[in-house]
């Protein structure tokens, strides 16, 4: 009987130890997953959005020249479309009236840095200043804070994302480059955008390209015919309970 009793006690203690070990391993795996998830969210800019709505965002990087701004605004007004303009700090300084015009037309203004330097080559302090200075300039003119940052050249690293997040900015890149800056012509831009657009796309255009207003006009017409609603970036992105996968697709956490 004593032998059986010892055997039972040994079995119980072994079972208990095994159970504790399993619980510990599960908790450890869960912790690792949690840490990885947090790192993924913090280290990826948003390229596009996973959405069930047929929505798309048209964005304009504005860094050089001012000749096309009025024409772009006229086309957007013609189609009752609101877009997002990412403005360079030095451009803001030289074109305050145009900044007001963009804002008063109801468009969204984002931060495109102060000097258009690659953020991969800047110190942390310089990154902070590049973003803060432009956000302050935008606020001084419009009276509204911007929450969007697009890094020059799309260059990002972990530190850039951390700085942007700490300043309450979502870092926005793009899923579809119109390639308007390559000078292939309007038909190439139109064809590229229409073939590659999908719900949740963020499309990149540049304001200083010749005849930009002409292909924007055609693209908006075609997107609307295809059933798309064109919205500013802040209307297509999630503000909470989201994750960003390794491809830069922003998703709700439960998906």
Q: Which residues are catalytic?
A: 61, 206
Instruction: Name, in order, each residue with C-beta under 8 angstroms of 59's C-beta and a sequence gap of 6 or more.
Output: 83, 84, 85, 86, 110, 150, 172, 174, 202, 203, 204, 205, 233
Angle between helical axes of 96-104 and 69-78 (0-180°, round to 10): 0
- Nearby residues of 237 by Cβ (< 8 Å), 6 or more positions away: 46, 49, 170, 172, 250
């Amino acid at each position: 009987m004593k032998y059986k009793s010892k055997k039972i006690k040994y079995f119980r203690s072994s079972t208990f130890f095994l159970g504790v070990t399993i619980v510990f391993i599960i908790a450890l795996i869960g912790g690792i997953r949690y840490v990885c998830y947090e790192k993924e969210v913090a280290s990826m800019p948003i390229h596009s959005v996973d959405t069930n709505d047929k929505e798309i965002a048209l964005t304009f990087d504005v860094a050089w020249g001012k000749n096309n701004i009025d024409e772009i605004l006229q086309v957007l007004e013609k189609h009752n479309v609101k877009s997002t303009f990412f403005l360079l700090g030095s451009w803001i300084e030289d074109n305050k009236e145009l900044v007001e015009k963009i804002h008063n037309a109801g468009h969204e203004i984002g931060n495109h840095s102060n000097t258009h330097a690659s953020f991969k080559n800047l110190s942390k302090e310089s990154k902070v200043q590049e973003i803060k200075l432009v956000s302050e300039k935008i606020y001084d003119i419009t009276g509204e804070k911007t929450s969007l940052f697009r890094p020059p050249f799309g260059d990002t690293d972990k530190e850039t994302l951390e700085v942007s997040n700490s300043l309450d900015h979502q870092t926005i890149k793009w899923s579809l480059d119109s390639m308007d800056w390559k000078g292939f012509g309007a038909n190439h831009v139109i064809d590229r955008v229409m073939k590659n657009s999908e719900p949740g796309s963020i499309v990149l255009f540049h304001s200083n390209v010749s005849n930009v207003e002409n292909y924007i006009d055609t693209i908006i017409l075609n997107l609307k015919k295809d059933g798309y609603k064109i919205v500013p970036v802040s209307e297509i992105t999630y503000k909470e309970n989201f994750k960003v996968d390794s491809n830069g697709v922003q998703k709700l956490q439960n998906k």
